[in-house]
Structures are given as structure tokens and as C-alpha cells.
Amino acid sequence: MSILADLRTYARFAWGLRGFLSHSITLEEARAIVQRRLAERENNFLRLVEKGIFGYPRSPYLPLLKQAGCELGDIQNMVRARGLEPTLYVLREAGVHVTFEEFKGRQPIVRGGQVIRVQAHDFDNPYLSHYYQAESGATTGAGTRVSIDLDHMAAQAPLLMLSYAAHGVLGVPTAMWRSPLPANSGFSNVLRHARFGQPPPHWFSPITVEDWRLPLKWRLATQYIITAGRVFGLAIPSPQPVRLDQATVVARWMAEVLKARGACLMRAHVSTSVRVCVAARGEGIDLRGATFMGAGEPPTPAKVREITRTGARYVPNYNLSEIGFVGTGCVCPADQNDVHLFRDAVALIQYPRRVPGTDVRVDAFHFTSLLPTAPKLMLNVESDDYGVIEERRCGCVLEHLGYPQHLRHIRSFRKLTGEGMTLIGSDMVRILEEVLPARFGGSPQDYQLMEEEDEQGLTRLILLVNPSVEIADEDQVVNTVLEALRRSDTAANLARTIWSQAKTLQVRRSKPVWTRRGILMPLHLGRRFRGSGQASTDQRL
């Protein structure tokens, strides 16, 4: 955006913030909002389809629906006769869906010989009033821009409030260890909390000047939002730089709060939470009464075990930057990654697909946005995630609120994640197949990246380098990868900063792993599917 456009954007944000802060919802209001949305979810979907797709000539979904021979009336009749999820499944079988790479604008949509050229912004909600913008998640690659809209923060706040009430952390002292702009998680957390009167009083940021001096634009924007919030009565904390290797600072803060109040809540990525707990045990700090809540990567048994060893507990969330909250942890979970689906905000079906380069088939998640405030309009959009969808009686308050569906064993089949930073396969291929061979020799078949956990449950991204490639200094390999990420875009640079601190990238001299089909995949995800030819049972809705 130009400087003038930036000024207009942040002026609108400041103007909108005043109205946003004028009303904080109560728990009763949060319940009423959710109940109304659940009762109206099919009508909400039809309104989005009518206005955001059929009423928007540039919608990338229109050619798909036309090829499927599906008009607005057909969708309306199917939803009323069959229900929402069965309609979405029929559309998926007819080819109305978008893959993750297509949604990110990295590949054209190809269906039945028809090629539809798309860019990431083509999927923007055309009727969203933009207040400010940030990079989605901390995903390396094309840097999809997601509008952070105050109306959407208001629509998401009831979900967060009900989750807090269910887990007994509503009103307890809260802090977060999240990055500031250009990442969106920091301010989004502040705004959603402010809507129900619980703004985090403390904000730790893993980004420091030594790691990355943020461009002036983002530093000014951060200070502008903090100042605007304070002018209108919202005490937005200034981000306190705390590197990942300084987790003791966070652990000590939690210890002080626990001593004074008996409870506290920390919002952080899973690996970041693990770092706090490892530091706490090293300092002899008892974290009983503390709750860690976050998303960004799978909460594996090893990670959750490290957290609970301190006496704390962990509550998983499942979020997508493009539409917000997808689910929150069950109060009576079947495992460490058991979340209730927020079905008033999103519709979810599964459809089988083959994992590229393998014989494994997974039931891929396909998301459809239901809230008119969602930054992106999604209609059967793959997230490259899969898992189990089940409806069962758990007896917790979230079930009684109208969320009987659970998501479990949530994993990605084409993405690697470390420290909450997501690495998309297509973004790394160029580095593995072009940058590294050009710098160190060998061919693309001599380099491969895979994910594993260390003894503390921290995720490491292991770069396999064939021993036949002569490398004098393995650190130079890591530095070359990080430098390539730095040059890619803002989101990739943010991932580079976090991975540099965490020493997430490590070199191992070993021959890359080939699949049984005789294919070398740049990202080796075989461990996730080992022992089963079917990654999850067919749980179609």
C-alpha cells in the first residue's frame, strides 16, 4: 500500500475502534449471539453465497459453479432439502472446491480442462470494511494479506469468551507471547479480549531489534494502534521484547502472578509454551494454576507432557487466519488435541485425496466460512489438514452450548510447522532444488527437509544433505536457507527470525528418503502416515 493509503487505513481503524470499544459483551450476550448464529447458520451460508459469490462477478467460485451446472437456486433448494454439509459434499463431488495452493494464488485452478487464473486477493470478502492489514499467520511464501476487521474481531469474541468460561479462565490475569505487526496474532488477540473486557495486561514479543529491525512502517503502525487504543480507553500493552531463549522471563512473570492471584493464562504457540515450562522446571518454578492456550502447530503428546509436568494445563485451539476460530479444546478431552468445532462460524466436510508422492489417502478438511465478517470467503477450501471428525457425547459445557462435533488427530499432509511458523511445501522447493545445489553443489536429489521432535518435545526441521555433497561448514547451509527466506517476503522473514532464535533448522548428513513409489519428496512427511495406508477413517458429514 502507498503511504496515503496506509494513512487512510489506520485513520479508519482509529475511527472504528471508538465504536468497537463502546460495548463490551457479557457472558449472557455471548451465549445469545452463538445460539442465534447456530439457528441461522444455513441462512447465513445462503446469504454469503448469494451476495459474496453470485452477487460478485469477479468471484473465483463462479466458474467452478458454472462448470458444475449449479445456479443459486440449486444451492438454495439443496440446503433446504438436505442440509448444509450434505450440500457442500455434493458440490465437492461436482468439482466445486479449491486446494490450498490455489487459494494462496500459487497455482491456477484447473478443473475439467478449464484453467482459472487466480491470485490470493481474489478470495477476499468483497464486502468487508478493512481497518488494517497483516500477513496471514507466519506462513512462509507468497505472504497472503488478510484484513483484520473490527467487525470480525467482534464476531469472534463470543467464541473466545465462551471458551474461557468453559475452561475457568474468564477474568484471570492473561499474557501472550506473540509477534507484533506484520504478524496478525498479537493485535487480534488484544482486540478479541477487549471485546469482553479482558485485555491482556502483558505482551511478550519474540521479535527483538537484534534479530530483525522491523521496517518503519510496521513500527509506526504498532505504536499508532497502541496510542489509539489508549485514547479510547483500551490499555493495549506495549510489546516487551523477550527472545525464545529468554523463556525464564516469562516463567518468572507467571510465578509472580500465580503467587498473587492463584491463576493465570498464557496465550502462546505450543512450542513457545513448552519453552516456558522447560525454563520453569529449570528454575524450580511450580506452575500449578496456570493455563496455556494456543494453536499454530499440533499439540503432540510429548509437547503436552512437558507442559503438564510443571503442574500447568494446556488447552488447544484450532484457528485459520483467513476465517478465525475453528474450534477450542474440549473440557473432557479424549486426547491432547480434541477440539469442539465452532459450527456457527465455519462448516467443515472431509473428502478423500491422495497425499502427493505417496500411496496414502487422507480425508482432507474442506472449510466454508459462515460469518459475513470473515476476511476471506471460503467454499470447500482445503487447508492441507486432515484428521477425525466425530460427534460424541462428552458432557462438557461446550457440547451443551451447541457444539457436539469434535475434531481430533489434526495434522497437515503437506506442511511442516515449527515454533508456530508454517512452512508450505511449494515455497521450500525452490530453496531445496535450486538455491542449495547452486551454492553447495550436488543435485535436487541430495537435499530434503523433514520434521521431528527432540527429547523436550520441541519441533526441529531437519535438513538432510547427502554425504556425497562436500560441505566444509554445515552452519553455512542453515544460513543459506535462512537468507533465502529473508529475501522472500515479510512473512518468510518473520519465520526466519523465529527459527534463527529457536535453532529450528538443523543439518543432518544422510541420504534423502525415497518413497515406495520411487519418488523423492522435498518435504518428507512419511513419519506422519507410517503404519497405515489410510490416515483417518472416512468421517463424511
The residue with greater pLDDT, 166 or 221, is 166
Instruction: Indicate the range of 153-167, 179-193, 480-494 predicted with least confidence.
Output: 480-494
**pLDDT classification of 316: cutoffs 50, 70, 90:** very high
pLDDT score recorded for residue 540: 25
Q: Residue 536 pLDDT > 50, yes or no? A: no
**pLDDT classification of 539: cutoffs 50, 70, 90:** very low
pLDDT score recorded for residue 250: 97
- Selection from 421, 413, 420 nearest residue 528 by Cα: 413
What tens digit of pLDDT does each residue of 330-348 get? 999 999 999 999 999 999 9
**pLDDT classification of 6: cutoffs 50, 70, 90:** low
**Rounded percentage of the chain residues whose pLDDT exceeds 70:** 85
- Selection from 55, 187, 155, 132 nearest residue 374 by Cα: 155
- Selection from 347, 381, 320, 40 nearest residue 188 by Cα: 320
Mean pLDDT of 221-230: 84
What tens digit of pLDDT does each residue of 175-203 get? 999 988 877 778 888 889 999 988 888 99
Phi, psi of 52 (to 5 degrees): -80, -20
What is the spatial distance between Cα 444 and Cα 520, in angstroms, rounded to a whole number? 9
What type of residue sits at position 348? L
What is the spatial distance between Cα 453 and Cα 463, in angstroms, rounded to a whole number? 14
Phi, psi of 474 (to 5 degrees): -65, -25
**pLDDT classification of 142: cutoffs 50, 70, 90:** very low
Residues 340/406, Cβ–Cβ less than 8 Å: yes
pLDDT score recorded for residue 313: 97
Q: Residue 426 pLDDT > 60, yes or no? A: no
Instruction: Indicate the range of 33-47, 223-237, 459-473, 486-500 predicted with least confidence.
Output: 486-500
Q: Please give the C-alpha separations between residue 288 and each of 232, 249, 265, 305, 306, in angstroms, as whole numbers.
A: 36, 17, 11, 14, 13
Q: Quick count: other Cβ atoms within 10 Å of Cβ 405?
A: 20
Instruction: Indicate the range of 285-289, 341-345, 522-526, 527-531 predicted with least confidence.
Output: 527-531
DSSP letter assigned to residue 514 = B
Burial class (CB in 10 A: 0-12, 13-18, 19+), 230: exposed
Q: Where are the domains of the chain?
A: 41-121, 421-526
List strand residue ranges (DSSP E) for 324-360, in order.
Answer: 324-329, 339-341, 346-354
Spell out a b/e string for 359-384, using b for 16 or more CB atoms within 10 Å of the CB, else e. Answer: ebbbbbbbbbbbbbbbbbbbbbbbbb
Averaged confidence pLDDT in the chain: 85
- Selection from 242, 292, 290 nearest residue 268 by Cα: 292
pLDDT score recorded for residue 537: 28
What tens digit of pLDDT does each residue of 51-97 get? 999 999 999 999 999 999 999 999 999 999 999 999 999 999 999 99
Mean pLDDT of 220-238: 84
The alpha carbon of residue 369 and the mean position of all alpha carbons in its chain are separated, in whole angstroms, by 15
**Rounded percentage of the chain residues whose pLDDT exceeds 90:** 51
Query: Which numeric CATH code is attached to 421-526?
Result: 3.30.300
What is the spatial distance between Cα 521 and Cα 529, in angstroms, rounded to a whole number? 14
pLDDT score recorded for residue 532: 38
What is the spatial distance between Cα 447 and Cα 464, in angstroms, rounded to a whole number? 6
**pLDDT classification of 522: cutoffs 50, 70, 90:** low
pLDDT score recorded for residue 128: 73
**pLDDT classification of 10: cutoffs 50, 70, 90:** low
Total-model pTM: 0.83
Q: Residue 448 pLDDT > 80, yes or no? A: yes
The residue with greater pLDDT, 309 or 302, is 309
